[in-house]
Structure 1
Amino acid sequence: MDVDPTDIPLAEPGPVTMTKVKSLWYMSDMLVIYAGDKMFQVPLSILVRRSPIFRDMKLVARKLTTITTQPAANNESAATEDKVQDEGGDGESNNEETHEGIPVVRLPDDAANVEAFLQAIFNSAFFPPPPVYQDEGTVRGILKLSHKYEVNYLFRRALQHVEVRFPFDLGELVAEVTRRQSQVYPLAYWITIELGKKVNAPWVLPAAYYMLCSHGVSSLLQEYPGYLDIPEERMKCIRATTAFTAAMSSVHSFTQVDAAKLETEGECDDPATCYQTFRDLHARLLDAISAGRTNVLTHLSDCRLKSAKLCSKCQAYAQAEYENGKQEFWNGLPEIFDLPSWEELLRERAEVMRDPSHRWGNYQT
């Protein structure tokens, strides 16, 4: 006879010993943060778990007497305190200053940056990783403050977004530059260069330098806001345009062909047509160089080359030479700007990013 399992009497549950999960045990302490003309009220216990800098602040240290978090090691505490002092001082607190009875910390940072930074910490939907699009101002603000206050997971995520705009892969850079052709913002490139150096992310610099210099000397001579410290960088980029101009010729050297060789060596199925096409391509190159253009990697787009009136043999030759020329230029790009080799840059990236093999792809549109 079948027995209904629901008819079997269940043993009475014994007493349960509850175990506190410290990593998910938050206190009710709150902190008010002033930045510029904005103020924010946030849970202190969460903030100090994200940022050792906030954990080390004197006011926060006093508040932590009732919060079960692991204190920073002495050497880490000293290092982080020195870092914040170097970048404009840590948050200022005053025993007498409160807001509605809640302690206040004043931060010297830009209010909009602080808002984005705190939103990213306390609102998981605010700053997702790529390919979800984030505007450049938000990315820069979070990158800067997550580095300053050592919120490492957020710093890596912000770097992911920077890498979408300033890739370390040749094919991705060409795609990004092509996408941006009608959107030339030299100021954004200058800001990225300055910030990339400040947060020690040198692998994003070659792409930023390239985008800046690929618009020619005129974009380098524009006046920019005084908060940008770029005199040395400006001279470096102006000198680099000489190398870019030389690369315009070398990368596209395949456009110079000998008509006699096309006819006699049997490597072309239509010498007359192919020779004229190569001449036209070379004439366009000379016009671009005369006009001061330095867009080495996108002057001759793949689509334009593939649609050129060339026989299959000449098409294959031109495509191979073009790809080799671009790759050679790309390999030497860091050296033009006094940066380490790509191998060293990507090794440094691997030390920062937990999963250096992961590719973030382009933004969703």
Structure 2
Amino acid sequence: MPVDDVPPPERLRTDILEVTETPPLTRSTEFWFEDGVGGNVIRQVESTQFRLKKSVLSMHSSVFRGMFLLALPEDETVDGCPVVVLSGDTLRDWVLFLGVIFPKFLGPSCPSLDLIAAILRLGDKYDFSAFRRECIERLDEEFKATLHDYDEGDKRWPGFKSEDTFFLRLASLAKEFDRPSLLPEIYYELVTRSHYILINPPASSDRLACLTGYVNLLKLQSTTTLAWLDLDPPLHHIPSVGCSQHAACVAAVIGQSRVCVLKQWKKDWEDGMCRSCRTKAKAVYEAGREVCWKQLPTVFGLPD
């Protein structure tokens, strides 16, 4: 090819290059302990540096305790303190977690989900075992092991029941930290929000589990909690054997609407029924709730 025909090198388009600048290092305004209050080691997360107390970190974390037994690198220091960069961590997690280690007040009685996640992540990585254990116990307390405990109390965080996104984030957290026992109740909470099932296609494994569980619950409740509403053999329980007002009790059953499988029995459901039918209906319903509770993991395709 003649020299004149050689195409010129492609010119560098500086106008389309994305220039990435390293953010300047900053000192934490909240967690920077001077010499007088024992600040003797610096931890850097992303572009923020924290001046902390070795003794406090060592007390709570076996990882940091072992690290401080070794000679820390002296090639980078700030105010005479060695700097150690904690790679892979997020600034948000550390700010939340340090607020628990160095509290200005007693820990929150209703911790945010972000705080729970931060403690679990850093607790796993750096063996903050006591803090991690407390979070696990709190989650286990919120999600009950028995139907009786489920009925007895609701100690969930404020706004816990109001946002679908909260439960989706909680489901991700349960899987991230290997707490599958939390998932059945989390999925049930989502399933009871009919609008969530209708407007959210199964684009994720959680949504698919919820959609599958929703269909399975509809089938299950027809033979358990709602069996008392079935007037046809062989499931029918109303009118009961001792019914004193056959026509009225049949009419009361026909007027009932469908209910959720774990909802507690409501007095207005028995309006219009005789005493015998009320007793029978409630007994069938309560027995059905126990069956549904035990089958909740299977309903959502989870291990028993």
State whether TM-score is above 0.5: yes
Aligned partner letter, 1:102: C
Change in CA separation of 1:153 and 1:220 when aligned onto 2, cut-off 3 Å: farther
1:160 aligns with 2:170: no
Q: For structure 2, list consecutive stretches of 5 or more residues without a partner in the other structure.
A: 1-36
Change in CA separation of 1:220 and 1:62 when aligned onto 2, cut-off 3 Å: farther
Change in CA separation of 1:327 and 1:54 when aligned onto 2, cut-off 3 Å: same
- Tell me the residue number matched to 1:112: 92
Given that residues 220 and 292 in structure 2 are in contact (C-alpha distance below 8 angstroms), is that contact kept between their aligned partners in structure 1?
yes
Distance in structure 1 (CA, Å) of the matches to 2:285 and 2:159 = 20
> 1:261 Cα shift?
8.3
1:236 aligns with 2:209: yes
- Tell me the residue number matched to 2:45: 35
Aligned partner letter, 1:277: A
Aligned partner letter, 1:236: A
- Tell me the residue number matched to 2:162: 184
Instruction: Indicate the SS of the match to 2:255.
Output: helix
Larger helix proportion of the pair: 1
- 1:342-357 matches, cutoff 5 A: none
Distance in structure 2 (CA, Å) of the matches to 1:181 and 1:313 = 40
> 1:328 Cα shift?
0.6
- Consecutive aligned runs of 4 or more in structure 1 exceeding 6 Å deviation: 177-182
Change in CA separation of 1:47 and 1:63 when aligned onto 2, cut-off 3 Å: farther
Aligned partner letter, 1:198: E
- 1:1-365 matches, cutoff 5 A: 30-36=40-46, 38-57=48-67, 60-63=68-71, 95-107=74-86, 108-123=88-103, 125-127=105-107, 132-173=109-150, 176=154, 183-216=161-194, 218-219=196-197, 222=200, 231-250=204-223, 251-257=225-231, 266-281=241-256, 284-285=257-258, 295-298=260-263, 301-305=264-268, 308-341=271-304
Greater RCO (Cα-Cα under 8 Å, separation 6 or more)? 1
Distance in structure 1 (CA, Å) of the matches to 2:71 and 2:156 = 52
Which digits, 9 at most, give the CA deviation of each residue in 1:249-290, with x for residues without a partner? Answer: 232121123699867x75123323322211111xx12xx7xx
Identity rate, percent: 23
Given that residues 119 and 126 in structure 1 are in contact (C-alpha distance below 8 angstroms), is that contact kept between their aligned partners in structure 2?
no
Which digits, 9 at most, give the CA deviation of each residue in 1:97-137, with x for residues without a partner? Answer: 33322222333323232122222233395436xxx322332
Change in CA separation of 1:209 and 1:149 when aligned onto 2, cut-off 3 Å: farther
> 1:43 Cα shift?
1.4
Distance in structure 1 (CA, Å) of the matches to 2:243 and 2:103 = 62
Change in CA separation of 1:223 and 1:261 when aligned onto 2, cut-off 3 Å: closer
Aligned partner letter, 1:96: D
Change in CA separation of 1:319 and 1:134 when aligned onto 2, cut-off 3 Å: same
Given that residues 213 and 241 in structure 1 are in contact (C-alpha distance below 8 angstroms), is that contact kept between their aligned partners in structure 2?
yes
> 1:179 Cα shift?
10
> 1:221 Cα shift?
5.8
Given that residues 238 and 277 in structure 2 are in contact (C-alpha distance below 8 angstroms), is that contact kept between their aligned partners in structure 1?
no
Given that residues 60 and 128 in structure 2 are in contact (C-alpha distance below 8 angstroms), is that contact kept between their aligned partners in structure 1?
yes
Given that residues 217 and 299 in structure 2 are in contact (C-alpha distance below 8 angstroms), is that contact kept between their aligned partners in structure 1?
no
> 1:325 Cα shift?
0.8
Distance in structure 2 (CA, Å) of the matches to 1:305 and 1:272 = 18
Aligned partner letter, 2:261: V
Instruction: Indicate the SS of the match to 1:269.
Output: coil
Given that residues 44 and 84 in structure 2 are in contact (C-alpha distance below 8 angstroms), is that contact kept between their aligned partners in structure 1?
yes
Distance in structure 1 (CA, Å) of the matches to 2:268 and 2:159 = 18
Aligned partner letter, 1:316: T
Question: RMSD of the alignment, in Å?
Answer: 3.6
Given that residues 38 and 52 in structure 2 are in contact (C-alpha distance below 8 angstroms), is that contact kept between their aligned partners in structure 1?
no
Given that residues 217 and 238 in structure 1 are in contact (C-alpha distance below 8 angstroms), is that contact kept between their aligned partners in structure 2?
no
